[in-house]
Amino acid sequence: MTHVFRRVALAAALLVGAPAVFVAGTTGAWAATATTITVDGTKGGRIFDGVGAISGGGGNSRLLFDYPEPQRSQILDYLFKPGYGAALQILKVEIGGDTNSTDGAEPSHMHSATDLNCDRGYEWWLMAQAKARNPGIKLAALSWGAPGWVGGASHTFWTADTIKYLIKWLDCATSHHLTIDYLGGWNEKGFDKSWYEDFHAALAANYPEVKLVGDDGNKGWLVADAMAADPAFAKAVDVLGIHYSCGYTGTDKGKSCVDSANARGTGKPLWASETGSQDFNTGAFATARSFNRGYIDARMTGYLNWPLVAAITPNLRFAKVGLMVASQPWAGSYSVGRLSWAIAHTAQFTAPGWRYQDSASGYLGGKRDNGSYVTLRSPNGKDYSTIVETIDATAAQTLTVNVAGGLSAGTVHVWATNVASTTGADDFQHVSDVTPVGGKYTLTLQPGFQYSITTTTGQGKGSAKGSAAHGLALPYADSYDGYAVGTEARYLADMDGAFEIVNCGGGRTGRCVRQMAAQAPIVWRNGARDPSALLGDTGWTDYTLKVDVLLQHSGYVELQARVGTQAHDPSQVNAYFLRVANTGAWSIVKSSTGTPKLTTLASGTAKALGTNAWHTLALAVKGTTITGTLDGAKLGSASDASYATGQVGIATSQTINVQFDDFSVS
């Protein structure tokens, strides 16, 4: 139904309350700023490629796989199901490299040149789940690191072996009946022009449908400048993708986006191939701005939010960054963030292949602080959607829309989110239907809102809710015997290296967890670190972690207790360690995010563990006392009051294989 407000009534209403939108017909409406646009089916702009999110670059989806049903399916629906939640149009995943990539590590499909397992990790499962909900979703992938063997003597990513390794990954995707649409190089590590040219040739020969993205860098449009100077390199790159083109952090994020004449001049798709790094609620402000202004300022047509979901424990650095928070699989609890609805304001009203309307995209009243709008039309030239944000506006303003050029003059549906609200009831609401009069209608927009104005239907807001949050109860134990070989143990999250289910060695039957990375990886940043994995509740206080261990090589094995805050990587973490070497040398160590990183609290030498023999290690924390034992005999104790609560973990020295079994916390 059309609601017509006369000027006096509208002005009075604005004084006493501010609903999401007022609608005016030919009588007009009052506001501080007035903007008039024409959406014309004969006018054009660049092709829209889609909005999506990134699973990877940090292990941020790890705990999602361990959620029970129906909560796991509910989370997946909120992420991927059309007309329900974020309705993502692109899913980008990490090609696991056995190395930390922010808040965790993902396993490689090839730990060595002779090893291939196309079922490792959770990204294959996640892509299949996304496709099941939206068969039209586009799939993309990128490496943050890689197993060391691909680097050869130079230990670099830019090798022929890496190209073969990535082609093998695409073979794995095919085995899972997944078609990959986009593939990148090395995350935020620049580009090697010859490598891109060689990789493009390999894709053309093996997977010609895959488009190569360059360069996933975070230093602006350097790739475009290089392409302008080198035609062979320009031919090799199909999509130009850069990171955080509209800013990284701060209250100004998304207010303006970096443009490049060289980038535009390529005529190729321009993407924000990573954006985000924002809180699952407050990140809606920057996202609403960026998804509009990226096109207005820089003609960017694809936007990928990092990360997809915060399915990690709360002691990790980006614990509430993503579209949703899902950190308690044992409880089945989760929260849908306002960021999901900020993305839905584009994703539920468009589709890849729609075309932007340059003449109906810009800034309200010609000023950035008033807000922005972009318009896209469907390939059939009938439907259109206009997405508006008034994030920084300070007063109501009007938007008058004239419809022309064969576009539908029928009913327009208006959806709105009060981005500044603190209640979910104000997220993604269908607030009005408008019937144009003489091909024209006017809306009054409130400050601090995001709007979607569309001739399409089928939008919706999911209503499922997670279970109540609660801690993981003790005692906790896992024999590992119930898992398939090559999978990951429940709740055990790799921070570095690769911890995977294997058939036990050393004469033991059943299944064990084994650290698989036996060569220093090609890391994304900060150098190689000890492989480690975490499990449990950050609220655990006094307990004993007991694990059977078998060292396959010389080195040390480590148990971790009261694992708390982790900074930039697993080498910067608040925790207590018990380290025992194959020689019998042992130490109780305090690890810190500050300086010094490691402080030895107690040390000594016990009987040698040797290699390929099973032993039982235990690390107990009670009050301020930390105690280590080996095969039931006390190694030593230390006293420290730095950390009172935290998770447990297992770790090894670098480049060795260690097996773990009969894991318990009591």
- Spell out the long-range contacts of 310-314 with Cβ–Cβ below 8 A and sequence spacing 24 or more: 310/60, 310/280, 311/60, 311/61, 311/62, 311/63, 311/64, 312/58, 312/59, 312/60, 312/62, 312/63, 312/103, 312/104, 312/493, 313/63, 313/493, 313/534, 313/536, 313/537, 313/538, 313/647, 314/538
- Domain 7-45+358-454 matching CATH 2.60.40.1180: the answer reads yes
Mean pLDDT of 146-153: 97
Which pLDDT belongs to residue 89?
99
- Inform me whether the pLDDT recorded for 9 exceeds 60: no
In this structure, the number of other CB atoms found within 10 A of the CB of residue 523 comes to 22
Task: Return the structure tokens found at 211.
Answer: 């488009």
Give how far Cα 587 sits from Cα of 248, 564, 572, 626, Å.
41, 20, 18, 11
Confidence of residue 596 (pLDDT cuts 50, 70, 90): confident
Distance CA 57, CA 80 (A): 19
- Inform me whether the pLDDT recorded for 1 exceeds 50: no
Global pTM exceeds 0.85:
yes
Query: How far, in whole angstroms, is CA 439 from its chain's centroid?
Result: 42
Nearest alpha carbon to residue 84 among 134, 128, 36, 31: 134
Distance CA 305, CA 326 (A): 17
CB–CB of 544/475 below 8 Å? no
Report the chain's mean pLDDT, rounded to a whole number.
95
Range from 28-42, 49-63, 162-176, 248-262 carrying the lowest mean pLDDT: 28-42
Which pLDDT belongs to residue 526?
82
3 state DSSP class of 341 = helix
Handedness of CA 624, 536, 569, 120 (dihedral sign): positive
3 state DSSP class of 204 = helix
Confidence of residue 476 (pLDDT cuts 50, 70, 90): very high
Active-site option among 274, 389, 488, 558: 274
Handedness of CA 356, 89, 173, 105 (dihedral sign): positive
Q: 133-170: b or e for each residue (b if 16 or more CB lie within 10 Å)?
A: bbeebbbbbbbbbbbbbbbeeeebbbbeebbebbbebb
Handedness of CA 401, 406, 409, 414 (dihedral sign): negative
Domain boundaries, the chain: 7-45+358-454, 50-353, 476-665
Mean pLDDT of 480-486: 98
Which pLDDT belongs to residue 106?
98
Mean pLDDT of 528-543: 97
pLDDT tens digit sequence for 417-472: 999 998 889 999 999 999 999 999 999 999 999 999 999 999 999 999 999 999 99
- Inform me whether the pLDDT recorded for 3 exceeds 90: no
One-letter amino acid identity for 643? Y
Task: Return the structure tokens found at 191.
Answer: 């580009």
Nearest alpha carbon to residue 102 among 316, 379, 288, 293: 316
Residue labelled with tokens 């655990």: 540
- Inform me whether the pLDDT recorded for 340 exceeds 90: yes
One-letter amino acid identity for 309? V
pLDDT tens digit sequence for 187-241: 999 999 999 999 999 999 999 999 999 999 999 999 999 999 999 999 999 999 9
Residue by residue, DSSP assigns 347-392 as HTT--TT-EE-GGG-EEGGG-GGG-EEEEEE-TTSS-EEEEEE-TT
The CATH architecture to which 50-353 belongs is Alpha-Beta Barrel (3.20)
pLDDT tens digit sequence for 291-309: 999 999 999 999 999 999 9
Contacting residues for 601 by C-beta, under 8 A, at least 6 apart: 576, 587, 588, 589, 590, 626, 638, 639, 640
Q: In angstroms, what is the C-alpha Rg of the chain?
A: 27
- Inform me whether the pLDDT recorded for 26 exceeds 50: no
Which pLDDT belongs to residue 288?
98
Which pLDDT belongs to residue 14?
29
Range from 490-504, 524-538, 628-642 carrying the lowest mean pLDDT: 524-538
pLDDT tens digit sequence for 154-179: 999 999 999 999 999 999 999 999 99
Mean pLDDT of 563-575: 91
Angle at 325 between CA 322 and CA 331, to 5 degrees: 160
Task: Decide if 188 is catalytic.
Answer: yes
Range from 5-14, 45-54, 256-265, 579-588 carrying the lowest mean pLDDT: 5-14
Nearest alpha carbon to residue 48 among 359, 291, 249: 291
Query: How far, in whole angstroms, is CA 402 from its chain's centroid?
Result: 39
Range from 25-29, 575-579, 582-586 carrying the lowest mean pLDDT: 25-29
Task: Decide if 274 is catalytic.
Answer: yes
Which pLDDT belongs to residue 22?
58
Task: Return the structure tokens found at 168.
Answer: 């093998």
Pick the CATH number of 476-665 from 3.30.420.10, 2.40.160.20, 2.60.120.560, 1.10.10.10: 2.60.120.560
Active-site option among 94, 106, 123, 188: 188
- Backbone φ and ψ of 206, nearest 5°: -115, -40
Distance CA 151, CA 521 (A): 9
Which pLDDT belongs to residue 269?
99
Distance CA 62, CA 84 (A): 23
Q: 438-452: b or e for each residue (b if 16 or more CB lie within 10 Å)?
A: eebbbbbbbbbbbbb
Distance CA 326, CA 493 (A): 14
Give how far Cα 459 sits from Cα of 191, 211, 348, Å.
40, 30, 6
Nearest alpha carbon to residue 80 among 126, 16, 23: 126
Confidence of residue 6 (pLDDT cuts 50, 70, 90): very low
Query: How far, in whole angstroms, is CA 77 from its chain's centroid?
Result: 16
- Inform me whether the pLDDT recorded for 95 exceeds 60: yes
